[in-house]
Structure 1
Amino acid sequence: MVHKPVSYFTISPFFLICFLPSQLDYRFYDRSCPNLQMVDRYNVWQAYKNDTRIAASLLRLHFHDCIVDGCEGSVHLDDTLDFKEEKNAPPNRNSARWFKVIDSIKADLERFCPSTVSCADISTLAGESVGLEAHTALFPYAGEMDWQQSEQAVLNQLPSPIEPSENITAKFVSKGLDIKDVVVLSGAHTVGFARGFTFSGRPFNFKGSGNPDPSLNPSFLSNLQNACPGGVSASKLRPLDSVTTYRFDNVYYKNLMNNTGLLESDQALMTDSRMAALVNFYSMNPMAFSYDFAASMAKSLGMSVFLLFKLGKLGEDV
């Protein structure tokens, strides 16, 4: 199997200074665990060599953790008799490979610096190690304790691949983000794959009409139908960006301009004039997308961070 290269996710420290709470510090582990980044990147790249989808998966995992109740690692908690946790909720199913990478990093770190690094920070660093191409090194913030409780009920805060843009926007806004952040962070779909159940209705039976989604580019529609002549299998994988599948770039926005977005929620960005204008802008300005994605990621990583004001604990079982 040929493994396509993916660029390191590098963000200027300037972006992070602009958005992150002052209590969090990207130098937090410099003395207590100086091998942290080396261990993290080694494990991420080992995982990537075996599964090229891991890059997008780790970004998605970290976003799912952050957007629910802040970047506090609750997505890693296992079910108990009293609580059904985020880890096994529908949006995070089929995600065992994500958690195995975090488990591997945690196990290695316990040998170098036991009971030191929180699972929340490991997840942040894993997300930093895969992603977007830029020219400066990321110094991710750290110092988050792990929250000891999560609930599946809060997962309705996660955007669905079949939701209209106004619903998705409302969820982002409720977390302190805005329309620009919706469009920019949706650009993470320039890498990764979607399972068939997330787009199965579009090629054949859109919203129960018996017809394809009329917004689909005819050539793209034909491609989808030919790839799945008997209907789309719920487990079938399809690249979110079939043009530059393994490269983090702005082609995602070009796809939307051409009506070749795979997910209904992605193509729905073009139904809002304000979002469509941003899609058009990023489709022509790759550097602006890189800059703004870094800023929006930093903004989302810092939202709802309450761990330093509550009794947290370093996770021992992720």
Structure 2
Amino acid sequence: MASFAVLFSHFAILLLSVLSLGSSLSLDYYEKTCPGADFIVTKAVRAAAYKDKTVPAALLRMHFHDCFIRGCDASILLNSVGNNIAEKDGPPNLSLHSFFVIDNAKKELESYCPGVVSCADILALAARDAIVLSGGPTWDVPKGRKDGRISKASETIQLPSPSFNISQLQQSFSQRGLSLDDLVALSGGHTLGFAHCSSFQGRIRNFSPASNVDPEMNPSFAASLRNMCPVNNKVKNAGSNMDTSPTTFDNNYYRLILQKKGLFSSDQALLNFPKTNNLVYKFASSKEAFNRAFVNSMIKMSSITGGQEIRKNCRAVN
């Protein structure tokens, strides 16, 4: 069996061949062909978030998971067909939800300006709206992405894992043209949402022969997580909120890391390298600095392109 390092190396070559920073993207891409595109997407996101407060976190995570595989090409939205298991059915994506929000926006856009707005652009706009509706900053989203035709669950192994250390995180982000600054800023997206026990179980029990609990985790925090995630847990959706204000986009995530209350190993790992450590302290002390950095990094990440068509249905290739 090929080692993870070999698999990662092969996938890095694939990434370099199919991904590019979207030089063709522009802020006014739909100005003449579909001038109401932004508003239509925003309306769909608002309607869904009004009924379900977990929608914004789901849309943000969906966009991130999309961009990290083959670029921001909406491959995460494709359904499995025949013998092909799509990304959304890969293990890291099984808890993703709110795909209907993109479907609703696409349906209205197809009525208003058929065949014009890509599913990838809808998802990028929806992620921005998710942040705004959660109390975060807004920004103009560059548009003009195309939708991809390939979606493979086997490639989701390349998504950054909750158990990654700082070296693995740096490698994962750099393969996509993203810096350490982007790593720390985008990790702040963990200020929204919920995580299942399986994502952090290894930190709170039988961590190592020398320690039952990860020594980088606050002992009282670990104890509270063990109560939420008992041994032989049979509660389907047991887990923990990502931070103390899981529906509000703020900088509490960084403050909790400084208290050794980062939920994932990959969160706490940000303290283990001088540059990322400094950025955690900076963002913990200044929400404004975090907001600025997050916007810059979101624009950078969402400008990684790789698609080929404008899908009529976001769940299927044309």
Bin for the TM-score computed over the shorter chain: 0.7 to 0.9
- Find the aligned partners of 1:31 and 1:144 in 2 and give their Cα distance: 16
Partner residue, 2:42:
41
Tell me the CA shift for residue 58 of structure 1: 0.5
Change (3 A) 1:174 1:317: closer
Tell me the CA shift for residue 254 of structure 1: 0.6
Tell me the CA shift for residue 209 of structure 1: 6.4
Partner residue, 1:15:
none
Partner residue, 2:98:
98
- Find the aligned partners of 2:199 and 2:189 in 1 and give their Cα distance: 16
Partner residue, 1:316:
313
Tell me the CA shift for residue 110 of structure 1: 1.9
Partner residue, 2:122:
122
Partner residue, 1:181:
182
| Root mean square deviation of aligned Cα | 2.2
Bigger mean CA deviation after superposition, 68-77 or 126-135: 126-135
Q: Deviations over 1:200-240 (max 9, x none)?
A: 23223325767122221122123223444556556313111
- Find the aligned partners of 2:170 and 2:208 in 1 and give their Cα distance: 21
Change (3 A) 1:249 1:78: same
Tell me the CA shift for residue 29 of structure 1: 1.6
Partner residue, 1:63:
64
- Find the aligned partners of 1:215 and 1:79 in 2 and give their Cα distance: 39
Partner residue, 1:300:
301
User: What secondary structure is seen at the aligned counterpart in 1 of 2:130?
Assistant: coil
Structure 1 stretches lacking a partner, 5+ long: 1-18
Bigger mean CA deviation after superposition, 255-264 or 20-29: 20-29
Change (3 A) 1:42 1:86: same
Q: Which amino acid aligns with 2:116?
A: T
Partner residue, 1:220:
221
CA contact (8 A) 1:72 1:146 kept: yes
- State percent identity of aligned pairs: 35
CA contact (8 A) 1:164 1:265 kept: yes
Change (3 A) 1:208 1:235: farther
Partner residue, 1:248:
249
User: What secondary structure is seen at the aligned counterpart in 1 of 2:63?
Assistant: helix
Aligned residues: 293
- Find the aligned partners of 1:37 and 1:140 in 2 and give their Cα distance: 9
Change (3 A) 1:28 1:183: same
CA contact (8 A) 1:146 1:315 kept: no
CA contact (8 A) 1:180 1:275 kept: yes
CA contact (8 A) 1:148 1:313 kept: no
The answer to whether the aligner puts 1:167 opposite 2:168 as a matched pair is yes
Change (3 A) 1:267 1:39: same
CA contact (8 A) 1:203 1:224 kept: yes
Runs of 4+ in 1 over 6 A off after TM superposition: none
Partner residue, 2:157:
156
Bigger mean CA deviation after superposition, 216-225 or 203-212: 203-212
CA contact (8 A) 2:102 2:123 kept: yes
Pairing of 1:70-81 with structure 2 (within 5 A)? 70-81=71-82
Q: Which amino acid aligns with 2:117?
A: V
Tell me the CA shift for residue 22 of structure 1: 3.8
The answer to whether the aligner puts 1:143 opposite 2:144 as a matched pair is yes
Q: Which amino acid aligns with 1:131?
A: I
